[in-house]
């Protein structure tokens, strides 16, 4: 895959939350068509990294650079990052009372396509993607995430990804809280989305999602840094042996 172009690149990203540095220099290249996984114990900074990259107001990127298809994104507000092709599936998606799933997605897709765009295919598109993720059609008229179970919220995050079809998708703990059937459905959605032109960065604590979505590269995050990288076999080793051996090998501790 080395002939492919770099899609997404992070250069020495530092992130602070409430004046505390939680990501301490992360560099990463994702080429078109690749799936990367960042694994790490709780508190290692992996969710902070993905939230900061999407422009979450509580996370400040204090230094470093981030490029999507060659465009620097850190100066952009979150909506512009999204329209440039970045997507984050949130770990804890918020409820938005009064705004239906369909209206929300229509507004988002319209924002991506532009105010003059033809939206006549929207209903069909939404129906198709909902069916593919085994989401009941009645969810289209329900308020976004309002009263949804954990698994329903995760499915609807993947639905949003399918409809918006981003270039680069960050999936933050998308597997957490899913039973095995939901995990299969959600990973099926991720695999269907994935193609030779887009990239995926999975952020996860556990290996089990990686049984269904095969990563090309696995990175271990500890103490706010990527301390080890390898192929899919690294994930299996972490599953068997936990993170202790990485801590010993690198001399770092998990907590930031």
- Tell me how far, at minimum, the Cβ of 6 lies from other proteins, in Å: 23
Q: Does 1 bind other proteins (CB under 8 A)?
A: no
Q: Does 204 bind other proteins (CB under 8 A)?
A: no
x/- binding map, residues 79-118, to other proteins, per CB under 8 A?
Answer: x-xxx---xx-x--xx-xxxx---xxx-xx--xx------
Our measurement of the distance from residue 75's CA atom to the centroid of its chain's CA atoms, rounded to an integer in Å, reads 20
- Tell me how far, at minimum, the Cβ of 59 lies from other proteins, in Å: 10
Which residue do the tokens 């993905």 mark?
50
- Tell me how far, at minimum, the Cβ of 106 lies from other proteins, in Å: 10
- Tell me how far, at minimum, the Cβ of 99 lies from other proteins, in Å: 4
- Tell me how far, at minimum, the Cβ of 93 lies from other proteins, in Å: 7
Minimum CB distance to other proteins smaller for 24 or for 112: 112
Site for other proteins in 127-156 (CB under 8 A): 143
- Tell me how far, at minimum, the Cβ of 100 lies from other proteins, in Å: 9
Minimum CB distance to other proteins smaller for 25 or for 78: 78
Judged by CB under 8 A, the residue of 164, 190, 218, 254 near other proteins is 164
Minimum CB distance to other proteins smaller for 125 or for 236: 125
Instruction: Write the DSSP string, the chain.
Output: -TTSPEEEEEEEEEEEETTEEEEEEEEEEEETT-EEEEE--TTSSHHHHHHHHHT-TT-EEEEEEEEETTEE-TTS-HHHHHHTTEEEE-SSPPPEEEEEHHHHHHHHHHHHH-TT---TTHHHHHHHHHHHTT--GGGGGSEETTT--HHHHHHHHHHHHHHH--SEEEEESTTTT--HHHHHHHHHHHHHH--TT-EEEEEESSSGGGGTS--SEEEEEETTEEEEEE-HHHHHHHHHH-SHHHHHHHT--S--
Judged by CB under 8 A, the residue of 70, 77, 147, 251 near other proteins is 77
Q: Does 74 bind other proteins (CB under 8 A)?
A: no
| Whole-angstrom distance, CA of residue 105 vs CA of residue 71 | 25
Q: Which residues lie near other proteins (CB under 8 A)?
A: 54-58, 77-79, 81-83, 87-88, 90, 93-94, 96-99, 103-105, 107-108, 111-112, 143, 160, 164
């Amino acid at each position: 895959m080395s002939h492919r172009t770099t899609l997404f690149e992070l250069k020495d990203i530092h992130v602070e939350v409430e004046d505390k540095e939680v990501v301490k220099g992360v560099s990463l290249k994702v080429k078109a068509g690749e799936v990367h996984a960042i694994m790490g114990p709780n508190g290692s900074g992996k969710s902070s990294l993905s939230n900061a990259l999407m422009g979450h107001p509580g996370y400040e990127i204090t230094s470093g650079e981030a490029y999507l298809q060659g465009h620097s994104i850190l100066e952009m507000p979150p909506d512009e990052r999204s329209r440039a092709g970045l997507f984050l599936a949130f770990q804890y998606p918020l409820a938005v009372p009064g705004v239906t799933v369909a209206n929300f997605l229509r507004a988002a897709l319209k924002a991506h396509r532009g105010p003059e765009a033809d939206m006549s295919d929207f209903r069909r598109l939404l129906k198709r993607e909902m069916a593919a993720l085994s989401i009941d059609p009645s969810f289209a008229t329900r308020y976004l995430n309002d009263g949804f179970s954990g698994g329903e919220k995760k499915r609807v995050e993947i639905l949003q990804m399918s409809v918006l079809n981003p270039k680069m998708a960050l999936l933050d703990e998308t597997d957490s809280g899913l039973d095995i059937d939901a995990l299969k459905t959600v990973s099926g959605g991720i695999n269907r989305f994935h193609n030779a032109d887009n990239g995926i960065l999975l952020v996860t604590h556990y290996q089990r999602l990686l049984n269904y979505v095969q990563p090309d590269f696995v990175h271990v995050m500890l103490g706010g840094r990527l301390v080890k990288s390898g192929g899919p076999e690294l994930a299996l080793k972490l599953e068997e042996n936990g993170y202790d051996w990485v801590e010993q090998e690198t001399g770092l501790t998990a907590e930031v």
